[in-house]
């Protein structure tokens, strides 16, 4: 139960009456709930089992009569396994059809001779009317695959077994692996010899992917040479040949690493000549962010270096294209993109370096802050979101870790960072919630997201700034999700007694279950709270410190998920 919630005592407890109503202050996993009672001046610890939500309605239920489970019939074969004779290199399928499978049949494939072994690559497809098909597929069958195979199918009613003999013959000669000649940084010539086979397919595999792909959409090749194009410079590849006649597969070729193109070498040289890398700032899911100095301007920048194996080049290009067009003082900017630099397989986005911490961390460093301070930073955040929304861009990941404050100027300046989830809102896009506490109902449900999703997150962000607590957080992920989907939140007096009604009204207008009924950023900036002065309200930072400590329990300095910051005054790299 969240702080501020009222609960009822449901068991006998010393000095308390059964049914007495208490107010939750906080929760501890070992001690239970710290509560305030109306009959005691001191706060008490009560175990979780002694309390029940005061507003929770009783759960009406009745026992159902036990269902009579009919006796399950044992499985039976409609079509048993059949003996198969194939040529070496072919693909074979051992298949049988079964009835009376039940809902969860157990399937076991074995090779019985010459040496018994259990096979793990069997498949089972359950169809209609309690029937199913069990299959064992062997690609590029070899002489050593010859032998007796059996399948055992069982359910709670019984068991059945079928076996078949697989005979592999070898009338065709083996297919030799292709020889490779590198033509350019993105193309190779494959050549091979074969007197028996006349039609072929080509496949290639990029090192690290484990996936064999066709370079020509599986078109048949009627010669013994083929040029593979549009490969990635600097990457390592292997190739193989497949005979159309019997689907015989050659051994993979030796792995070759393509050279880096001249223009890519030029980019790498330009990058190394332009930027002096200093130290690592932070790490994300797909990238590493480093602080660097621009030799030309003598300014420090942030280098977001993305590995292509983790994030495709076109995604990095799209992120750069988005950041390069940012022209708002409260939004981080991108200044350049280098492909395959500083080395092949790594793309680098050059970003402005934010000189300051996360906004929440900055406020936690103070003993207290005011409602007017919250208004100042909220105005900057909503101004940035309004500018994005006017460009049909949604951020979709508004949370404390993505809102920083730059302290290099005369006054602190909010900076919105990490646009990895941003999309063009002219299309309906479904994304998973990156942070459940700040996720909107449509994001949790996997429904289309957009500008309205940012409005909800801005409402949660404002609520936390005003109180230091999360509006929907509960004891478990399931309870938190339920609170979000019901839009179940309130303004406990312990946290909001002094906060102005205008601020709470703005939060109420943002945290609305129906997306179309939420006010937009332009309306927020024109709201009464934003346009009028309220009395000075002091907010202790202790509650916000507790909020941040819960999100970062290791008590490490917090950084955003994309470009982090560098504190030059202390000469300490924040990670």
pLDDT band at 56 (very low <50, low <70, confident <90, very high): low
Q: What is the CA radius of gyration of the chain?
A: 33
Whose structure tokens read 């072919």? 90
If you average pLDDT over residues 270-278, what whole number do you get? 91
pLDDT band at 102 (very low <50, low <70, confident <90, very high): confident
pLDDT at 313: 78
pLDDT at 565: 42
pLDDT at 328: 93
pLDDT at 566: 44
Instruction: Report whether 74 contacts 159 (CB < 8 A).
Output: yes
- One domain, residues 235 and 329: no
Domain membership of residue 63 (yes or no) is no
Q: Among the three residues 352, 382, 397, which one is the final residue of a domain in this structure?
A: 352
pLDDT at 54: 64
pLDDT at 382: 97
Token digits of residue 421: 């989830």
Domain membership of residue 129 (yes or no) is yes
Domain membership of residue 67 (yes or no) is no
pLDDT band at 275 (very low <50, low <70, confident <90, very high): very high
Tens digits of residue pLDDT in 364-393? 999 999 999 999 999 999 999 999 999 999
Q: How far apart are CA 5 and CA 409, in angstroms?
A: 42
pLDDT band at 340 (very low <50, low <70, confident <90, very high): confident
- One domain, residues 440 and 555: yes
Tens digits of residue pLDDT in 167-218? 888 767 778 889 988 888 888 999 998 888 889 999 999 888 888 999 998 9
**The pLDDT of residue 284 is above 50:** yes
Closest CA to 98 of 149, 135, 136, 132: 132
Cis peptide before 342 (omega within 30 of 0): yes
CA atoms within 13 A on the CB side of 27: 16
Instruction: Report whether 284 contacts 560 (CB < 8 A).
Output: no
Q: How many CB atoms lie within 10 A of CB 464?
A: 23
Tens digits of residue pLDDT in 411-441? 999 999 888 777 555 555 555 555 789 999 9
Closest CA to 407 of 350, 359, 442: 359
pLDDT at 429: 53
**The pLDDT of residue 58 is above 60:** no
If you average pLDDT over residues 452-476, what whole number do you get? 95
pLDDT band at 219 (very low <50, low <70, confident <90, very high): very high
Q: How many CB atoms lie within 10 A of CB 415?
A: 28
Whole-Å CA distances, 566 to 236, 357, 407, 560: 37, 8, 11, 12
Domain membership of residue 325 (yes or no) is yes
Q: Among the three residues 127, 149, 169, which one is the final residue of a domain in this structure?
A: 169
Domain membership of residue 575 (yes or no) is no
List Cβ<8 Å contacts ≥24 apart for 499-504: 499/371, 499/466, 499/467, 499/537, 500/371, 500/529, 500/534, 500/535, 500/537, 502/527, 502/528, 502/529, 502/532, 502/534, 503/371, 503/374, 503/375, 503/462, 503/466, 503/529, 503/534
Q: How far apart are CA 94 and CA 166, in angstroms?
A: 9
Token digits of residue 368: 């207290």
Domains held by the chain: number = 5
pLDDT at 208: 81
pLDDT band at 569 (very low <50, low <70, confident <90, very high): very low
- One domain, residues 322 and 291: yes
Tens digits of residue pLDDT in 237-269? 999 999 998 888 998 988 888 877 666 677 788
- One domain, residues 128 and 186: no
**The pLDDT of residue 560 is above 50:** no
Phi, psi of 269 (to 5 degrees): -65, -40
Domain membership of residue 572 (yes or no) is no
Mean residue pLDDT across the chain: 84
| Residue with the larger pLDDT of the pair 70 and 61 | 70
**The pLDDT of residue 66 is above 70:** no
**The pLDDT of residue 327 is above 70:** yes
Q: How far apart are CA 396 and CA 412, in angstroms?
A: 24
pLDDT at 375: 97
Domain membership of residue 61 (yes or no) is no
Instruction: Report whether 451 contacts 520 (CB < 8 A).
Output: yes
CA atoms within 13 A on the CB side of 544: 25
Please state which of the ranges 60-64, 346-350, 519-523 shows the lowest mean pLDDT: 60-64
- One domain, residues 390 and 519: yes
| Residue with the larger pLDDT of the pair 112 and 303 | 303
- End-to-end CA distance of the chain, in Å? 33
- One domain, residues 440 and 497: yes
- One domain, residues 510 and 402: yes
- One domain, residues 546 and 467: yes
Domain membership of residue 544 (yes or no) is yes
Q: How far apart are CA 127 and CA 404, in angstroms?
A: 55
Q: How many CB atoms lie within 10 A of CB 60?
A: 5
Token digits of residue 143: 């002489």
Q: Among the three residues 229, 257, 285, which one is the final residue of a domain in this structure?
A: 257
Tens digits of residue pLDDT in 130-155? 788 999 998 888 888 888 999 998 88
Q: How many CB atoms lie within 10 A of CB 571?
A: 7
Q: How far apart are CA 336 and CA 349, in angstroms?
A: 6
Cis peptide before 114 (omega within 30 of 0): yes
- One domain, residues 184 and 228: yes
Q: What is the CATH number of the domain that holds 337?
A: 3.30.200.20
Count of residues in the chain: 575
- One domain, residues 545 and 561: yes
What is the rounded (10 degree) CA torsion for 330, 332, 336, 342? 160
Token digits of residue 313: 């080049």
- One domain, residues 266 and 252: no
For 23, the domain range is 6-53
Q: What is the CATH number of the domain that holds 123?
A: 2.60.40.10
Token digits of residue 426: 């002219």
Tens digits of residue pLDDT in 474-529? 888 889 999 999 999 999 999 999 999 999 999 999 999 999 999 999 999 999 99
The widest CA-to-CA distance across the chain, in whole angstroms, is: 98
Q: What is the CATH number of the domain that holds 391?
A: 1.10.510.10
Q: What is the CATH number of the domain that holds 43?
A: 2.30.30
pLDDT at 561: 42
- One domain, residues 439 and 395: yes
Token digits of residue 63: 């026992």
**The pLDDT of residue 34 is above 60:** yes
């Amino acid at each position: 139960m969240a702080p501020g919630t009222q609960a009822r005592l449901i068991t006998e407890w010393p000095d308390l009456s059964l049914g007495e109503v208490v107010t939750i202050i906080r929760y501890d996993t070992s001690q239970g709930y710290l509560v305030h009672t109306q009959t005691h001046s001191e706060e008490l610890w009560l175990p979780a089992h002694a309390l029940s939500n005061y507003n929770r309605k009783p759960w009406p239920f009745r026992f159902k009569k036990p269902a009579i489970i009919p006796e399950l019939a044992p499985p039976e074969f409609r079509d048993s396994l059949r003996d198969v004779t194939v040529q070496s290199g072919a693909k074979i399928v051992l298949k049988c059809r079964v009835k009376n499978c039940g809902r969860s049949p157990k399937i076991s494939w074995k090779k019985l001779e010459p040496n018994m072994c259990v096979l793990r690559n069997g498949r089972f497809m359950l169809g209609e009317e309690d029937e199913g098909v069990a299959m064992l597929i062997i690609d590029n069958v070899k002489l050593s695959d010859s032998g007796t195979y059996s399948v055992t199918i069982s359910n709670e009613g019984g068991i059945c077994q079928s076996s078949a003999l697989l005979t592999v013959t070898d009338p065709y000669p083996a297919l030799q692996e292709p020889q490779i000649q590198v033509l350019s940084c993105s193309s190779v010539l494959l050549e091979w010899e074969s007197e028996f086979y006349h039609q072929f397919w080509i496949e290639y595999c990029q090192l690290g992917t484990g996936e064999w792909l066709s370079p020509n959409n599986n078109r048949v090749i009627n010669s013994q040479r083929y040029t593979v194009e549009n490969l990635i410079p600097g990457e390592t590849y292997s190739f193989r040949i497949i005979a159309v006649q019997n689907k015989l597969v050659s051994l993979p070729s030796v792995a070759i690493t393509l050279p880096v193109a001249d223009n890519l070498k030029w980019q790498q040289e330009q990058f190394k000549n332009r930027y002096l890398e200093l130290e690592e700032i932070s790490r994300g899911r797909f990238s590493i962010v480093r602080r660097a100095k621009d030799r030309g301007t003598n300014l420090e920048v942030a280098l977001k270096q993305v590995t292509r194996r983790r994030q495709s080049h076109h995604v990095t290009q799209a992120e750069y294209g988005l950041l390069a067009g940012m022209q708002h003082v409260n939004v981080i900017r991108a200044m350049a993109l280098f492909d395959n630099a500083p080395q092949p397989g790594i793309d680098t986005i050059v970003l402005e370096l934010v000189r300051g911490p996360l906004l929440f961390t900055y406020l936690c460093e103070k003993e207290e802050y005011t409602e007017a301070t919250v208004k100042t930073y909220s105005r900057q955040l909503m101004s940035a979101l309004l500018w994005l929304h006017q460009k049909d861009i949604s951020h979709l990941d508004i949370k404390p870790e993505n809102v920083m404050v730059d302290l290099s100027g005369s006054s602190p300046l909010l900076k919105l960072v990490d646009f990895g989830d941003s999309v063009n809102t002219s299309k309906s896009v479904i994304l998973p919630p990156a942070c459940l506490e700040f996720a909107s109902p449509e994001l949790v449900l996997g429904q289309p997201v957009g500008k309205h999703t940012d409005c909800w997150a801005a409402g949660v962000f404002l609520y936390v700034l005003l109180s230091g607590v999360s509006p929907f957080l509960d004891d478990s992920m399931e309870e938190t999700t339920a609170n979000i989907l019901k839009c179940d939140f309130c303004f406990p007096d312990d946290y909001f007694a002094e906060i102005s009604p205008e601020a709470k009204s703005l939060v109420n207008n943002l945290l609305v279950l129906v997306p179309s009924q939420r006010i937009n950023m332009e309306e927020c900036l024109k709201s009464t709270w934003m346009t009028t002065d309220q009395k000075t309200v002091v907010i202790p930072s202790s509650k916000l410190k507790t909020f941040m400590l819960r999100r970062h329990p290791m008590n490490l300095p917090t950084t955003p998920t994309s470009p982090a910051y560098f504190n030059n005054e202390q000469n300490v790299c924040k990670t």
